A = this chain, B = another copy of it.
Amino acid sequence: MTTTRDADTPLDDEFTPVSESIGRIIEAVDDGDQAALDQLLEPMHAADIADVIEQLSPARRRAFLSLYSGEIDGEILSEIDESIREEVVDLLPHEIVAEAVREMDNDDVVDLLEDLEETDQRALLAALDDSDRAAVEQSLTYPENSAGRLMQPDVVTAPEHWTVGDAIAFLRSEDWLPDQFYHVVLVDPRRHPTGYVTLGKILSSRPQMLLKDIAEDSFRTVKARQDEGDVAYIFNQYHLISAPVVDDHDRLVGIITIDDAMSVLDEEHEEDFLRMARVAEDSHVSDSAFATARQRLPWLVINLCTASISALVIAQFEDTLSALVILAALMPIVASTGGIAGTQSLAVAVRALATRELTAANARRVILRELMAGLLNGLGLAVILFAAGALLLGSPWIGAVLGMAMIANQIVAATGGVLVPLALSRLGLDPALASGTFVTTMTDVMGFFAFLGLASWMLL
């Protein structure tokens, strides 16, 4: 669903953004006004129409799809978010989905099918023609989130001994070429990729040049079983535009282009972001209240348990607290400021692990750096707390206890923030997932213990 534009259309006539038209779209859906809906959606890009479908409430989404089902094509369907894809496919008539799937690139078909139930999968596979079905089934044999699932099986290849003229003649004669391709992959007779040539080079070279003489210096293949996160890293790190995918025998089986790698990078970031906040990575604003509650409850229950450890620590100091109730009011200051510092240190470490900037080579230096930074900030905060204790509470001793506890907790926070994710990542676990719970438990326990312990010792 792309808009056709001719040369006379003024430049600022871009696609209508979702936010401008969503109000009127909702009106048209509520009125059951199909003509108005068609008119509103006509100038919109498929990706934006998919966003509209995501933003509607489930009831309106049903109404929308029954009014607009005739216009749902492969482009719109492949843009719809995973979280509601199954729902949308089930709401649409089978022949609409089948037609849409036939229009889609094979990598998009794989992306759609892998989220569906097996019966839906089978029905849609049956709608494909034989060669597409074989390609899609082949992709689906690779593990989820692997390069094999991400790749486009149709690759434009050429034997290395061809000339530029041969390549151009071949490209002009073929009618199956993918919509988007930027390179011709050179292969040997056993279909092992040996290099690639950019289309720019082919176009700017003389017809008698050999392809292998204008191949790019830098060449990198991806294994079909490789994790898609590694693929995104490789594209971003080495500025690739496309990368050939090979099977276990190093034979070419497909190609990944940068736009797919960009989507994966986006998803991986989103995953880290949500995991750090203890939210399931498939959380979505369009989820129901019940689904939302269920996704979040486990981490809340875990927090109940870790908070109970803090409660146990505090309970050891009942006598101190009875003697000086003001301590109960002050103790969360040390714990919570430690929690913030731990999260800060943790966030930098988790990012650096993800971007592979924190490695065995600099781990020791980073840990020492954090220890020093924790000490410095602890000292700075201690000065403030000591002054506040003396001036506002009239008790330099309470200020001193607050300050000393803060120094200890800032050091624990800053070093814990880097040690915990390093340890998790050494164990092969995702540091974004569980580090936060460990670190804040450490800073809570340390915060309450140091403050109440020092208070028992110095103030009573």
Contacts and interface: CB of A to CB of B under 8 A. Distances in A.
A269 interface: yes
Contacts of A241: 180, 182, 241, 258-259
Chain A, interface size: which category?
Answer: 35 or more
Contact of A361 (B55, B174, B328): B55
Nearest to A302: B340
Central interface residue in A2, A296, A440, by most chain B CB within 10 Å: A296
Contact of A321 (B186, B321, B380): B321
Contact of A273 (B47, B330, B351, B376): B351
Contact of A304 (B186, B337, B362): B337
B336 A326 contact: no
A438 interface: no
Interface in A143-192: 160, 167-168, 171-172, 174, 177-178, 180-182, 186, 188, 192
A259 B277 contact: no
Given A204-B177, A329-B311, A188 B274 contact: no
Contacts of A181: 200
B279 A277 contact: no
Contact of A289 (B217, B246, B369): B369
B160 A296 contact: no
A212 to B, nearest CB: 6
Instruction: List the number of copies, as a whole number.
Output: 2
A167 B12 CA distance: 27
Interface stretch (A18-26, A65-73, A95-103, A109-117): A18-26
Given A7-B188, A384-B304, A200 B217 contact: no
A81 to B, nearest CB: 8
Interface string A273-317: 110111100011111111011001101110110011011101100
Contact of A348 (B160, B238, B240, B274): B274
Interface in A1-26: 2-5, 7, 11-12, 14-15, 18-19, 22-23, 26
Contact of A238 (B45, B193, B311, B314): B45
A270 interface: yes
A204 B292 contact: no
Nearest to A237: B47
Given A200-B181, A373-B292, A219 B5 contact: yes
B203 A351 contact: no
B300 A218 contact: no
A198 interface: yes
Central interface residue in A200, A261, A284, A385, by most chain B CB within 10 Å: A200
A206 B400 CA distance: 84
Contacts of A285: 348-349, 352, 357-358, 362, 366, 369
A457 to B, nearest CB: 18
Contacts of A273: 269, 272-273, 276, 347, 351
Interface string A203-219: 11110000010000111
A138 interface: no
Interface string A321-349: 11001101111110111001101101111
Interface in A61-118: none
Contacts of A376: 289-290, 293
A381 interface: yes
B328 A279 contact: no
Nearest to A177: B204
B329 A314 contact: yes
Contact of A265 (B265, B277, B361): B265
A344 B279 contact: yes
